[in-house]
Chain A
Amino acid sequence: MDSVMWSRLLTAETLGFHIIWATIGVGVPIFISLAEGWGIYKKDPHYILMAKRWTRGFVITVAVGVVTGTCIGLMLSLLWPQFMKLVGNIISLPLFLETFAFFFEAIFLGIYLYTWDRFKNPIYHWLTSIPIIIGSTLSAVFITTVNAFMNTPQGFKLDKITGKISDIDPIAAMLNPSTPSQVAHVVSSAYLTSGFLLAGIAAYHILKGRKHDYYKKALRLTMISGFVLAILTIIAGDLSGKFLAKHQPAKLAAAEWHFETQTHAPLIIGGTLDEKTLEVKNAIVIPNVLSILAHNTPSGKVIGLKDIPRDEWPPLYIHYLFDIMVLIGVYLLIVSGLFLFCLIRKKRNEWNKWLLRSIVLGAPLAFIAIEAGWIYAEVGRQPWIINKIMRVDQAATTATQVDSMFYLFTALYIALTLIASMVLIRLFRNKGPEAELEKIASHSSGGMKNAT
């Protein structure tokens, strides 16, 4: 393999690994803050403890997120020097701002961790969680604008002959057409996934026979917000679909194996494709839905792949990734919706074993959806690194030792996964919240209600 392929593999591997931790890093602070805020408001030590315990695990994941984020930041220049040389000037503002946001988060995470008992009024401590949320979410926003720029570049002039870039408008480059839908989808899905991660943990313990109110409260908090977030994520996904139909038809068409430009385009789920005859078999075909997805009306015309030059087609396997992402999104909506339904209709039992199992399953599924969604979004842009501007093979490094770097980092990521999981398990195993709550209750005798 040449260094282009190795560079692609190493970038894919690093990003694929990073987004697991980055998703947790963006989403979990919301829930920590929600729990602490609600606990202070209700004077309920269960929620405060929830925030504390979530934070303990969060720090471990943040550390891995930080280091892998540094890796991908530097790898951009190491593996794709031609790309950075060309557009480094355009994307450096959001990259710079992302670092600022991260800096802000890092400072306040340090403060949050070490001031649990420093302030007389607990509100002050809770307030330091707000900059963490702002910082982590904004860094997701800024970095997503860079990715959005690669999908729909704008805000500069390219001289085709000299290959030089001029007339840069940094703000226009950041606020490119992809930005709104991509940012909305990235942020909402990160929140949703983190919600399901925390819900899955609570549900798992209830299934294991833990009866304490703590778990039920945790599950209610995460599932109620999870339901709202699932709706928001699906809306954001729908916006992305409409955006693709307009600005990146190749990606949408490849995802849907949509070859002929037509109105009343059907949505295809699953199936197999004969790459030579472009015949789709064994698929579930839902008439009109792709047109509705793309244009809100069955008579909307969706551009097919045959209208796009063959050497600009993305790989067609992304269809499956798209399906996985969408189906999991719907699954998460149904599960959290069912939980909510049972919660409101008192006659139903929201602690139904099958429902709890579905929630536990939802946690890994949500992460699979994140991975599938990102691979779909990235591979769907092939063969371009910057859509219609620069091809991937023109951007990669000419250095020859990328393969050894790939092995080195593969080993690192495997080790980090194993050790981080081990540390997290050790951190919580045999250290349930029940004992901690008893300790709190015996320390503050009386006063607090609900402190059972």
Chain B
Amino acid sequence: MPLELIGITVLWTFLYGYVIIASIDFGAGFFSYYSMLTKKEHIVSQIIDRYLSPVWEVTNVFLVFFFVGLVGFFPDTAYYYGTALLIPGGIALLLLSIRGSFYAFANYGARKSRIYMFLYGITGLFIPASLSTVLTISEGGFIEKVGENVVFHADRLLMSPYSWSVVFLALVSILYISASFLTFYADKANDIQARDLLRRYALFWSGPTILASLLVFWGISKHNPEHFRSMLDIAWMFVASLICFFVAIYLIWKKKRLGLAFTFVMLQFAFAFYGYGFGHLPYLLYPYITIQSALTNSTMGWALVIAFIAGLCLLIPSLYLLLRLFLFNAKYVQGRK
């Protein structure tokens, strides 16, 4: 496999990892706050806290990995995106900062504060919205190279129906992914009340998720027909995604094998995410950067791949330990340890 393809696959995988883990995290923050508002805190907050507390720091790393790796493999992206994304990037950073620190303030501080919980819960909804603009911009039409300068047309982004459909998809899918994971987690904890509440959330958000996906399809076909055509060439991936969705919903509906159900949710997003990404190739930023043009140095590319493999050898056992201790430890999940 050529280096640039390895590079983008590794990065895309990290981004996928971030999408899943961060969705659980963002959604959980929102549900946590929502349950506080609706006085159902006693039902779900313990489940959410027990899951989130040991892993919240890990989530951030996936994102950092992605952008450090992207700039490392494809430094041209730093030039274009860096110049263009000052405002949306800055706002995303601001929200991430508020969210990360207020999680710690709320959960490790002396007492739970409503304001901290509010900031933590609400920023989780805006971060995906601001981050998803990067994907929208990558479709082209929002960044223009004028002479030596890179110009970003923020007004076009704000007026584009496609851009809003992506934001909408990001929002509803985090709630859907998060709720379906937490349903599984609550079920493992034998917390029937929490499970049933979270299950209702999961079913509720599944409809908008599929609706939003269709909107995004329609948006791409209008905005970047070339990308849409290459997505049609691999239409089976999107069909597979839809099938996984139905399987997941069926299992959640029947309250059966919720772990498997969540696996299907993950597969649903994996098929759609990789299908979208594969269709996007070879462009990193349409039409300025392709993976071939941006990969300027292969020595560094290989060094990064080696570092990546070495890092994984260290990380996978540690992650496994973390999951063993907290996620798949029945006693811990049930609150007995």
Chain A residues with CB under 8 Å of chain B are 56, 59-60, 62-64, 66-68, 70-71, 73-75, 77-82, 84-90, 92-93, 95-97, 99-100, 102-104, 106-111, 113-115, 117-118, 131, 164-166, 168-171, 397-399, 401-402, 405, 408-409, 412, 416, 419-420, 423, 426-427
> Are B61 and A397 touching (Cβ within 8 A)?
no
- Known contacts A70-B64, A416-B101; decide if A56 and B108 are in contact (CB<8 Å): yes
List 6 A–B pairs whose Cβ atoms lie within 8 Å, in order of A's numbering. A73-B68, A74-B93, A92-B73, A118-B325, A165-B296, A412-B98
Chain B residue numbers with a CB within 8 Å of A79 are 82, 86
Residue of B nearest to A427 (CB): B110
Count residues on chain B whose CB falls below 8 Å from chain A CBs.
67
Chain A residue numbers with a CB within 8 Å of B299 are 168-170
Chain A residue numbers with a CB within 8 Å of B71 are 77, 84, 88, 92, 95
Interface string of B79-94 (1 = CB under 8 A from A): 1111111110110011
**Count the A-B residue pairs with Cβ separation under 8 angstroms: how many?**
215
The majority secondary structure among interface residues of chain A is: helix
Chain A residue numbers with a CB within 8 Å of B141 are none
> Are B314 and A70 touching (Cβ within 8 A)?
no
State in angstroms the CA–CA spacing of A97 and B337 once bound together. 34
> Are A104 and B315 touching (Cβ within 8 A)?
yes
Give the contacts of B68-117 with A (CB-CB under 8 A): 68-69, 71-73, 75-76, 78-87, 89-90, 93-94, 96-98, 100-101, 103-105, 108-111
Identify which of A100, A113, A398, A412 contacts B97 (C-beta below 8 A).
Answer: A412
Chain B residue numbers with a CB within 8 Å of A64 are 101, 104
Beyond known contacts A63-B57, A71-B96, A106-B61: 12 more, CB 8 A cutoff:
A56-B108, A63-B108, A85-B76, A86-B75, A88-B75, A89-B75, A89-B300, A96-B304, A107-B319, A114-B54, A416-B101, A423-B110
Identify which of B72, B109, B315 contacts A88 (C-beta below 8 A).
Answer: B72
Identify which of B93, B109, B326 contacts A70 (C-beta below 8 A).
Answer: B93
- Known contacts A168-B300, A405-B90; decide if A95 and B100 are in contact (CB<8 Å): no
State in angstroms the CA–CA spacing of A426 and B58 once bound together. 27
Chain B residue numbers with a CB within 8 Å of A427 are 108-110
State in angstroms the CA–CA spacing of A169 and B105 once bound together. 43
- Known contacts A67-B101, A84-B79; decide if A398 and B314 are in contact (CB<8 Å): no
State in angstroms the CA–CA spacing of A67 and B127 once bound together. 14
- The reply on B262 being an interface residue by CB < 8 A is no
Residue of A nearest to B71 (CB): A88
Give the contacts of B195-248 with A (CB-CB under 8 A): none
Give the contacts of B34-74 with A (CB-CB under 8 A): 53-58, 60-61, 63-65, 67-69, 71-73
Chain B residue numbers with a CB within 8 Å of A165 are 296-297
> Are B69 and A96 touching (Cβ within 8 A)?
yes
Identify which of A85, A86, A111 contacts B321 (C-beta below 8 A).
Answer: A111
State in angstroms the CA–CA spacing of A62 and B58 once bound together. 13
Chain A residue numbers with a CB within 8 Å of B54 are 110-111, 113-114
> Are A63 and B65 touching (Cβ within 8 A)?
no
State in angstroms the CA–CA spacing of A327 and B75 once bound together. 42
State in angstroms the CA–CA spacing of A363 and B39 once bound together. 44
Chain A residue numbers with a CB within 8 Å of B318 are 104, 107-108, 131
State in angstroms the CA–CA spacing of A116 and B266 once bound together. 33
> Are A107 and B65 touching (Cβ within 8 A)?
no
> Are A412 and B94 touching (Cβ within 8 A)?
yes
> Are A99 and B83 touching (Cβ within 8 A)?
no
